[in-house]
């Protein structure tokens, strides 16, 4: 928990520094440290000073602040910074999509320092006309304020899931639980989550409840009962815990996993079969005889259905597919053979090529593509053509030593705002793989965005479009991309689209990934790793793919290396101009 708390403090410090117009390198350092702390697998309070400084982005100064927080519960520099911005300005940052620069703009131009003043200005149309703010922006701000005020804000999956998993670990450690699982939208791996649902069995339900409401993360107890309790955590997330009888666990898990519309479909089927399904079990309607419920599979078996994976339970055709015996064989994490989007210390990654190879191997991968940023992305230390060729020589030397593993040499090339690409053809032809992506000009109209993407997809050397909509969950909306047209172009040019595993991206989302699968558009699943721990985020992209009904056959990097390279050499497609690689 302290990892996330300190990460939140460093993120807020970065936001305040940005509002003040401080040193951008210092701002970036705090953000990088926050990101790495969030993905750290060990609790910071268990690390000594030397171990803290081994965390990428954590130097002597930040390590001291971490120790200070673990010792006192506060960071003096953070408290001092908070006193240097008008009271209420930080509240503006709770509005989805409203970042530090906009908060500073609103403070400087309109002296807005509270949600109330912001709402009043938006309703009076005083915001439109400020740099970067249009009428639609005003509307989105009002929606965001309503969300915050109503306590209805949905949090990104990547924020809530680690928190929920930590709660389960704590309950297992502190109380006698026999079976315990997450339920609700978390178990369906929805990209945003409103609250946390947990189902458990225990010989001492009352004791479990005592432990639950007394956890250090709990700030408010909404309700405590013998078998059900609800609490609020420090960051405002509601958590509901139910302890059920052993024979009801599967039925309760199915019922509380939902979705609501999926459950309604199952209950309707049950009624037609003379059955009754609820959170206590599956019963024969006429005499209330229990037929099952200890295991979740009982629910589907007694309805004459195969087990429906939680990710599919959205009433989007899964019941019909189950009836016909046509549920997909969903992709699994161990189907992935390699990661095609990895950053090293050559650009803005935190690790050497050796470290990346060892980490990837330890996860059972047999290849990675090192795709450091291109020269135009100075903020990420993008590689010049000369440095790219120097890196190529290092990769070749390493590959000569490696056995049973291969590094593909590539780049994440910027698609510039004017539609041109960031490396000349002569450089691209030297690479094994080229990823193209948009990192600027997010507010351009659809026509310009699509022309940029089209230019990249038609290029003979471009294999993949990374994070195709550019969104950051809770921070930045997608740019104005025509997704149906993008999918059509990808199909025509044979260009793969990425499902990016970074928890704040999850881009493509499940809806578009499913559509891509239906159209036969090639897909890849990549981590966009910048630190070693981010290899673990592959799970998030797999969840998107599973929600998208994708099978192993839909995803290129489930192929062994030879098969992948064969696919990458097929530059054809009628819409891809012809070209050769050396």
Q: Give the start-to-end residue ranges of the domains of the chain.
A: 2-149, 155-243, 248-323, 333-369+412-568
User: Domain 248-323 belongs to what topology?
Assistant: Beta Polymerase; domain 3 (3.30.210)
b/e 187-215 (16+ beta carbons within 10 angstroms → b): bbbbbbbbbbbbbbbbeebeebbebbbeb
User: Is residue 582 very low, low, confident or very high in pLDDT (cuts 50, 70, 90)?
Assistant: very low
Please answer whether residues 43 and 4 qualify as being in contact, where contact means their C-beta atoms are separated by less than 8 angstroms. Answer: no
155-243 and 248-323 share one fold: no
pLDDT at 151: 54
Per-residue pLDDT for 572 more than 60?
Answer: no
Per-residue pLDDT for 414 more than 80?
Answer: yes
User: Is residue 85 very low, low, confident or very high in pLDDT (cuts 50, 70, 90)?
Assistant: confident
- Length in residues, the chain: 582
Share of the chain above pLDDT 70, in %: 96
DSSP conformational letter for 410: E
Those residues whose C-beta lies under 8 Å from the C-beta of residue 549, and which sit 6 or more positions away, are 312, 328, 330, 514, 517
**CA dist., res. 371 & res. 388, Å (int):** 10
- Token pair of 13 as six digits: 């410090």
Q: At what angle do helices 115-123 and 135-149 cross, to 10 degrees?
A: 140
Q: pTM of whole model > 0.95?
A: no
**CA dist., res. 240 & res. 258, Å (int):** 15
For 139-189, the pLDDT digits (tens) are 888 887 876 765 557 888 998 998 999 999 999 999 999 999 999 999 999
Cβ count within 10 A of residue 121: 18
pLDDT at 149: 67
The closest of 450, 502, 459, 500 to 479, measured between CA atoms, is 450
Q: Which residue has the tokens 């609700």?
A: 184
Q: Is 303 helix (H, G, I), strand (E, B) or coil?
A: coil
pLDDT at 579: 43
Q: Which CATH number fits domain 155-243: 3.40.190.10, 3.30.365.10, 3.90.190.10, 3.30.460.10?
A: 3.30.460.10
pLDDT at 505: 94
Highest mean pLDDT of the ranges 51-65, 119-133, 261-275: 261-275
For 256-288, the pLDDT digits (tens) are 999 999 999 999 999 999 999 999 999 999 999
Question: What average pLDDT does the segment 366-391 reach?
Answer: 92
Question: What average pLDDT does the segment 304-324 reach?
Answer: 97
Question: What average pLDDT does the segment 201-210 reach?
Answer: 95
For 2-34, the pLDDT digits (tens) are 888 898 899 889 988 988 888 888 888 898 888
- Count how many Cα atoms sit within 13 Å of the Cα of residue 487 in the half-sphere of its side chain: 15
Range list of β-strands (E), 90-227: 155-156, 179-182, 192-193, 195-201, 218-224
b/e 482-502 (16+ beta carbons within 10 angstroms → b): ebeebbebbbebbbbbbbbbb
Give whole-number Cα distances, 170 to 45, 167, 211, 213, 264, in Å. Answer: 16, 5, 9, 12, 34
Share of the chain above pLDDT 90, in %: 67
User: Domain 2-149 belongs to what topology?
Assistant: DNA polymerase; domain 1 (1.10.150)
Second-level CATH architecture of 333-369+412-568: Alpha-Beta Barrel (3.20)
User: Is residue 37 very low, low, confident or very high in pLDDT (cuts 50, 70, 90)?
Assistant: confident
> Which comes out higher in pLDDT, residue 137 or 171?
171
Arithmetic mean of pLDDT over the chain: 90
User: Is residue 578 very low, low, confident or very high in pLDDT (cuts 50, 70, 90)?
Assistant: very low
For 363-373, the pLDDT digits (tens) are 999 999 999 99
pLDDT at 529: 93
- Token pair of 443 as six digits: 């507010």
Those residues whose C-beta lies under 8 Å from the C-beta of residue 410, and which sit 6 or more positions away, are 340, 369, 370, 371, 431, 432, 433, 434, 435
Q: At what angle do helices 353-362 and 385-401 cross, to 10 degrees?
A: 50
């Amino acid at each position: 928990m302290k990892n996330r708390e300190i990460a939140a403090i460093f993120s807020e410090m970065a936001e305040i520094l940005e509002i003040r117009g401080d040193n951008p390198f210092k701002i970036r350092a705090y953000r990088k440290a926050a990101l790495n702390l969030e993905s750290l697998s060990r609790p910071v309070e268990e690390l000594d000073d030397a171990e803290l400084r081994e965390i990428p982005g954590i130097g002597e100064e930040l390590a001291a602040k971490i120790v200070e927080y673990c010792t006192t519960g506060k960071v003096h520099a953070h408290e001092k910074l908070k006193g240097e911005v008008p009271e209420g300005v930080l509240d503006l940052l709770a509005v989805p999509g409203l970042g530090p620069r906009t908060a500073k703009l609103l403070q400087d131009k309109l002296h807005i320092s509270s949600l109330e003043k912001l709402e009043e200005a938006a309703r009076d149309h005083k915001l439109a006309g400020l740099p970067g703010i249009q009428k639609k922006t005003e509307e989105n701000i009002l929606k965001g304020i309503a969300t915050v005020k109503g306590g209805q804000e949905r949090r990104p999956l990547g924020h809530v899931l680690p928190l929920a998993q930590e709660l389960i670990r704590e309950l297992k450690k502190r109380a006698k639980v026999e079976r315990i699982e997450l339920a609700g939208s978390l178990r369906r791996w929805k990209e945003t989550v409103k609250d946390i649902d947990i189902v458990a069995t225990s010989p001492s339900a009352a004791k479990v409840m005592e432990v639950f409401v007394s956890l250090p993360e709990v700030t408010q107890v909404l309700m405590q009962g013998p078998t059900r309790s609800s609490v609020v955590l420090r960051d405002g997330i509601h958590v509901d815990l139910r302890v059920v009888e052993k024979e009801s666990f599967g039925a309760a898990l199915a019922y509380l996993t939902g979705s609501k519309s999926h459950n309604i479909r199952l209950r309707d089927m049950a009624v037609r079969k003379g059955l009754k399904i609820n959170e206590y079990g599956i019963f024969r309607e006429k005499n209330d005889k229990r037929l099952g419920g200890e295991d979740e599979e009982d629910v589907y078996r007694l309805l004459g259905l195969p087990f429906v994976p939680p990710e599919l339970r959205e009433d989007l055709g899964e019941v019909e597919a189950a009836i016909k015996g046509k549920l997909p064989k969903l992709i699994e994490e161990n189907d992935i053979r390699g990661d095609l989007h990895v950053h090293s210390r050559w650009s803005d990654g935190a690790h050497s090529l050796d470290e990346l190879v060892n980490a990837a191997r330890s996860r059972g991968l047999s290849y990675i593509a090192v795709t450091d940023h291109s020269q135009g992305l100075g903020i990420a230390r993008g590689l010049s053509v000369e440095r790219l060729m120097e890196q190529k020589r290092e990769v070749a030397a390493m590959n000569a030593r490696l056995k049973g593993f291969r590094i593909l040499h590539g780049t994440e090339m910027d698609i510039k705002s004017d539609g041109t690409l960031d490396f000349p053809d002569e450089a691209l032809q030297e690479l094994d793989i080229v990823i193209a992506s948009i990192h600027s000009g997010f507010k351009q109209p659809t026509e310009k965005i699509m022309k940029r993407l089209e230019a990249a997809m038609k290029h003979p050397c471009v294999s993949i479009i990374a994070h195709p909509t550019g969104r950051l969950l809770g921070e930045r909306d997608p740019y104005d991309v025509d997704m149906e047209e993008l999918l059509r172009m990808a199909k025509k040019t044979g260009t793969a689209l990425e499902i990016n595993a970074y928890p704040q991206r999850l881009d493509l989302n499940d809806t578009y990934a499913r559509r891509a699968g239906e159209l036969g558009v090639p897909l890849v699943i990549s981590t966009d790793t910048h630190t070693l721990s981010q290899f673990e985020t592959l799970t998030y992209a797999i969840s998107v793919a599973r929600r998208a009904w994708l099978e192993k056959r839909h995803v290129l990097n489930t192929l062994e290396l030879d098969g992948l390279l064969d696919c990458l050499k097929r530059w054809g497609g009628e819409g891809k101009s012809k070209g050769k690689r050396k």
